[in-house]
Structure 1
Amino acid sequence: MELLTELRTHRIVAIVRGDDADAALRTVLTLAEENIPLIEVSLSGKDALGVIRRARAALGPTAPLGAGTVLTAPDARAAHEAGADFVVTPAVCEGITEAKRLELPVLAGVMTPTDIVAAQRLGADAFKIFPAAQAGGPAYLRALRGPFPAMPFVPVGGVDAAAAREYLAHGAIAVGVGSPLIGDAADGGGVDALRSRARAFRDAAHRPKRAA
């Protein structure tokens, strides 16, 4: 699985975290139907490993399916065994090292320049600026791109459709989107609103605003 290619192509990582495993699975499948195929199932959700296993069986072996909130080496191993083909961490942690040992691509959570350099040394493939809104939003991304102009950054945290357009216009390779996209779908809510939001985010991702 070529994570950078998938990020450049799809430009959205959908983050599914729910209290209802069946609803979380339904959310994953709905997102795939709506052509948002790059999906991360957070290990902090209900029976997340079971959701990953069932989603892998339903989507087939080539669908890009990740595990999020991977902190430890056991987390990375469990995600790999469940069928995830990439992992996402919230920080610079041992989950990165173990995932790379298992030959899984890693989207590593970073906040500071020091984090970025540390994650790069561990072999991270792309860098999740988290929490992006609290870090300063698109202005912080622009600042980071000064010393790191070629780094593949993925802002995550508080990204709505308007923010997605702005981040992408200012050089993000993709954006990670949780509740502004998922809403209550992974907790048992309906999927009609999810489909509408998915279309709005897909439009935002492929029609970003021009950078000022």
Structure 2
Amino acid sequence: MSTQNEPTDLLGISPVIPVVVIDDADHAVPLARALVAGGISIIEVTLRTPVALQAIERIAAEVPDILIGAGTVTAPAHAAQAASAGARFLVTPGSTRSLLQSAEETGLPILPGAATASEALQLVEMGYSSLKFFPAEAAGGVGYLRSLAGPLPQLRFCPTGGISPDNAAGYLALPNVGCVGGSWLTPAKALATGDWKSVTTLATAAAALQR
């Protein structure tokens, strides 16, 4: 694996990477602009809806101040599709060799998912040192990541899954956590009603989290 795909800087951009599910492509640009207004300059749009690629395309074209990535990359074809839409990085919830090979072929930085020590070791063997820890809370949370820091001190994580304003600080205090991923910055109700002011307020609080 080429280290050009290693996202060593992604984890340092913001304390929180917003993980966003967009059901209406018209929400993409105002949502991204609301995050930027709150001091968040990175966003992960998950490939869970039919309009996700269109949303990525719009953000990439119209909101240059935010780094747009594609999340929930679960099939080899997703990588090329996301790259073509304008994604600047890729995030996978788990990792297989065929999936990562397709992602690496795009030349984009990749944040591969792992939930166990064995999965993390496999990714180390492939040259990765920055990983997504998913599903964070269900897989053992803060205690599990603290335990991994001993035998695997070279790894840094972005825990995602069950992260909230109530537990984010506990994760960010760990030496092997660079940032967290969370959906709380972009609540479904705010998106549905176009309440971008609330998104900006949540983003401002998230950007101020200490790590």
Scaled by the length of structure 1, what TM-score is found? 0.88
Shift of 1:189: 4.3
Alpha-carbon RMSD across the aligned residues, in angstroms, is 2.0
Contact 1:12 1:176 in 2 (8 A): yes
| Superposition deviation, residue 148 in structure 1 | 0.9
With 3-12 and 118-127 compared, the bigger mean Cα shift is at 118-127
Question: CA offset at residue 25 of structure 1?
Answer: 3.4
For residues 66-89 of structure 1, give each alpha carbon's deviation from its aligned partner in whole angstroms, at most 9, with x where no partner exists.
000111221000001011111000
2:200 to 181, 195, 198: 195
Matched, 1:175 2:163: no
Assess if the C-alpha contact under 8 Å between 1:160 and 1:181 holds in 2: no
Q: CA deviation at 1:125?
A: 5.3
Tell me which of 152, 160, 163 is aligned to 2:164. Answer: 160
Select which of 10, 13, 38 maps to 1:9.
13
Candidates 20, 24, 40, aligned match of 1:20: 24
Paired AA for residue 68 in structure 2: L
1:8 deviates by 1.5
Higher relative contact order (CA 8 A, sep 6+): 2
SS in 2 for 1:167: helix
**Does structure 1 residue 42 correspond to structure 2 residue 46?**
yes
Superimposed CA distance per residue, residues 161-182 of structure 1 (whole angstroms, 9 cap, x where no aligned partner): 232211111120111111x221
The alignment's TM-score, normalised by the length of structure 2, stands at 0.88
Per the TM alignment, residue 191 of structure 1 is displaced from its structure 2 partner at its CA by 1.4
Structure 1, unaligned runs of 5 or more: none
- Report the Cα distance in structure 1 between the residues aligned to 2:171 and 2:123, rounded to whole angstroms: 21
Helix, strand or coil: the match of 2:207? helix
Q: What code does the residue aligned with 2:110 have?
A: V
Unaligned runs of 5+ in 2: none
For the 8 Å contact 1:23–1:188, the answer to whether it is kept is no
Aligned partner of 1:97 in structure 2 is 101
Relative distance call for 1:124 and 1:98 in structure 2 (3 A) is: farther
**Aligned mates of 1:121, 1:85 — CA distance in 2:** 24
The residue identity in structure 2 corresponding to 1:194 is V
Paired with 2:208 and 2:74, the residues of 1 have a C-alpha distance of: 32
The 3-state SS of whatever aligns with 2:208 is helix
Question: Could you say what secondary structure the match of 1:176 adopts?
Answer: strand
Going from structure 1 to structure 2, the CA distance change for 1:151 and 1:48 (only over 3 Å counts) comes to same
Distance 2:108 2:94 in 1: 17
Q: Does 1:72 align with 2:75?
A: yes
- 1:145 Cα offset (Å): 1.0
Instruction: Give the distance between the partners of 1:122 and 1:188, measured in 2 at CA.
Output: 44
Residues 46-99 of structure 1, C-alpha deviation per residue, up to 9 Å, x if partnerless? 411111111011123x74210001112210000010111110001113332211
Residue 45 (structure 1) shift: 2.7
Does structure 1 residue 84 correspond to structure 2 residue 87?
yes
Q: Structure 1 residue 118 and structure 2 residue 125: aligned?
A: no
AA aligned opposite 1:120: V
